Amino acid sequence: MSQKVKIRITLFIGLLSWILFSFFDIYFIILNRYDMSEAYVDILPQAFLTLFILSTLFYYRYIITRAESVNFMDLLWRVFITGLVTTIISLFIRLIFNLYSDTSFIQNPVTVNFLYHIYVGLVVIYLISTFVVWKRFILYQKSKNLIQLWNFFEYALLVSLAFDFLGYELQSNSFNIALVFLTTFSLVLSFNLKWIAYLNFRQKWKSILFILLSGIYLYHFFLNLTTYSGTGALIHDLLDRVFIVAILIFIMIYAAISVLVTLFNLPTSSVFERKLKEAVDFQKLSQSVPAGQSEVETYEILIDSSMSAVFAEAAWIEIKQSKENKIIKRNINKKTISEVKSAITDSDLGKVVNLEFSGNVSQQKIFTSLSKGEYRSVFALPILIKNEQIGALVLLQEVSDAFNREMVNIITTFVNQASIALENARLLDDAIENERYKEQLKIAKNVQKSLLPEVLPSNKDFCIAAYSMAAEEVGGDYYDIIHHGDGRFSLVIGDVSGKGTSAAFNMAQMKGIFHSLGQQNLEPREFIVQANEALARCLEKSSFITASYYNFDTNNRRINFVRAGHCPTLIYKAKEKKANFLQTKGMGLGVLRNSEYEKYVYSNAIKYDPGDIIILHTDGITEATDQNNQQFGEEGLKTALLKNVSKQPEQIREGIIEELYSFLNGKKLDDDYTLVILKFT
């Protein structure tokens, strides 16, 4: 049953029981006037009044949020507003009573009891709402003994409700004994005032004002109850109920002690606030002070300090590791840890304890209560380094609602300090790891070179040469050639967006897909479409690949090709002694990842003659810039080719590269670059 449903049910029961209480009380007066009597009528008002009190108690329990999640001043404000509203209504009733006190209508017992019943409803609402707020204050930072004492007090109050059915009146011996017993408990419980220490100077003055006003409301209600009791016209006097008088005394005692303790705490408020500021300053300072402990020592200090600060009865720290997470625990076994994890899997804390936290700690609920098990309160904080969770600190208490926001602030400071120490230790490890990384990059560079063909096939129809260079240790350029036999072969060149390791990984994926599809001897258009479909499933969404794919038929001296967003191919026609770029259309692979991609794939075909040269390249060559930020460009590539057309592919390659570096004049290339030169014989 949801909280809203419970609130509505208790509200309905409370309203109905108050109406029935008033009805049967007045009905009893009418029966007495006509000398009529019914055995069941006398007990019914008492029963419905008790039901009204209980439903009001549960109603305010549901709507008044727990003190740990509500500001203390908000709770006192609730008491003040409830008292103000009920007092204004009671004053209005009192005004009517005084204005028409000499009339027969007001002197009529039915009228007196009707007005009194309205007053009873107001008194019960104020007393019960204040009682629930006082309970939240008393149980702030509670212990098991305090909970047991409070539960005994509440059960005694419930028993006193049944005691009222016995008909004992105020000042009777039994009534006095029960009242003294409950008052003693009220006095003992009223010295639990830990919440006052967490108020600042201004809040303490406001709390004194609100509590004093609540006492004035209480005194007002007591005077009016006494006045009504003196009329002698009441059927059921509220002052003859032990429960009501006991709660009235309890509220008054706690209010009086709270005001006195708050007054005595006023001089220490500035000290407390200064210490709190020092703690915050320490947190900021700790971010620049290396701790010096190893990781294990830091975790040990963190768990012990945290348990001591919040009086936790058990705790564990789970540290994320590559194979099996490491757990450091105190007063708890692995079975209980698993049970606690299972109990909070569906809550906000589930992500923290399962090391899946992301976001802002201040916006998360990081403590909760459990309905069953050995431990009833759980408090968990993520251990973060550079906004990434590396572990979790979990604190446990045997009682429910044992943790509060002040404890969160303390433990957050400890966790932040530990994170600084851990980050310093890891920075040292990273410095060592960087040296290893450089060595591993050298290995990766050699591995990537092995992905490119070491030997390029040549025959009587053509000669071929290629060269590829990464701007960093590894890059994203790729080329390959596949011989299908019968004078047919395929040539592909590709360029992955970006550079460095991410481009290298995508280049490796591209190699596998292109090589696999190339074995099927597909037409260029079909090859590119299938390549796009395969890459769409594995390529990062932010990446794409440009490529050109050629099928050469040396028997018919025909070339079929598709350009997928790649640099235009440079072709030299020996008969015409001219070089031109093949300006064809086409979209890069991975740009569009659905069936619509086929619309942007265009097949092309050309004839070639002996002596013709084809230059495939990546944009690292044409977009290379010199000291004046001028690009080498397509014209630079064309000029370099025309200077070397009479040479063999290897010499053409060397001539183009020499021309490129001469243009750069010592400036480093910013991008990967690849050249494939094919000359027909």
DSSP per position, 533-583: HHHHHHS-TT--EEEEEEEEETTTTEEEEEEEBPPPEEEEETTTTEEEEE-
Give the pLDDT band (50/70/90) at residue 287: very low
Which span out of 372-376, 418-422, 481-485, 547-551 was modeled with the highest average pLDDT?
Answer: 547-551
Residue 317 has pLDDT above 90, yes or no: yes
Residue 506 has pLDDT above 70, yes or no: yes
pLDDT at 216 (0 to 100): 92
Give the tokens for residue 363: 């916006």
Residue 436 has pLDDT above 90, yes or no: no
Q: If you ran DSSP here, which 8-state letter would residue 669 be given?
A: P
pLDDT at 37 (0 to 100): 56
Residue 364 has pLDDT above 70, yes or no: no
Q: Which amino acid type is present at position 416?
A: N
Nearest to 548 by CA among 580, 579, 584: 584
The CA distance from 21 to 31, in Å, is: 15
Q: Is the dihedral of CA 623, 626, 629, 632 positive or negative?
A: negative
The CA distance from 664 to 627, in Å, is: 7
pLDDT at 255 (0 to 100): 93
User: How far, CA to CA in Å, does 478 sit from each of 19, 504, 601?
Assistant: 87, 10, 20
Residue linked to tokens 């104020």:
126
For residue range 470-492, what is the model confidence (pLDDT) as tens digits?
777 677 788 888 888 788 888 99
Phi, psi angles (nearest 5°) of residue 602: -125, 130
126-145 mean pLDDT: 89
Residue 38 has pLDDT above 60, yes or no: no
521-549 mean pLDDT: 88
2 vs 529, more confident: 529
574 vs 43, more confident: 574
Strands 488-496 and 569-573: unpaired
Residue 286 has pLDDT above 60, yes or no: no
The CA distance from 665 to 20, in Å, is: 101
423-447 mean pLDDT: 71
604-623 mean pLDDT: 91
230 vs 396, more confident: 396
Are 504 and 575 in contact by the 8 Å Cβ rule? The answer is no
Strands 477-485 and 462-469: unpaired
- H or E stretch including 444? helix 405-451
Residue 273 has pLDDT above 50, yes or no: yes
% of the chain beyond a pLDDT of 90: 24
% of the chain beyond a pLDDT of 70: 88
342 vs 451, more confident: 342
This prediction's pTM: 0.53
Indicate the SS3 state at residue 614.
Answer: strand
pLDDT at 178 (0 to 100): 85
Which range (126-140, 166-180, 236-250, 543-557) has the least confidence? 166-180
Residue 131 has pLDDT above 90, yes or no: yes
Give the pLDDT band (50/70/90) at residue 676: very high
Residue 662 has pLDDT above 80, yes or no: yes
For residue range 159-197, what is the model confidence (pLDDT) as tens digits?
888 877 776 666 678 888 888 999 998 999 999 888 887
Nearest to 545 by CA among 501, 584, 592: 592
Residue 66 has pLDDT above 60, yes or no: no
pLDDT at 169 (0 to 100): 65
User: How far, CA to CA in Å, does 149 sit from each of 135, 140, 186, 401?
Assistant: 12, 14, 10, 16
Mean pLDDT for the chain overall: 83
Strand ranges, E, within 459-543: 462-469, 477-485, 488-496
Indicate the SS3 state at residue 479.
Answer: strand
User: For 204-234, b where at least 16 C-beta lie within 10 A, e where not — what string?
Assistant: bebbbebbebbbebbebbeebbeebbeeebb
pLDDT at 277 (0 to 100): 56
Residue 289 has pLDDT above 50, yes or no: no
569-591 mean pLDDT: 90
Residue 311 has pLDDT above 90, yes or no: no
226 vs 678, more confident: 678
Nearest to 540 by CA among 582, 501, 569: 501
Geometric angle at alpha carbon 621, from 616 and 623, rounded to 5°: 125
pLDDT at 356 (0 to 100): 84
285-302 mean pLDDT: 65
Are 655 and 642 in contact by the 8 Å Cβ rule? The answer is no
Nearest to 587 by CA among 515, 529, 504: 529
pLDDT at 654 (0 to 100): 92
258-277 mean pLDDT: 74
Are 116 and 36 in contact by the 8 Å Cβ rule? The answer is no
112-117 mean pLDDT: 81
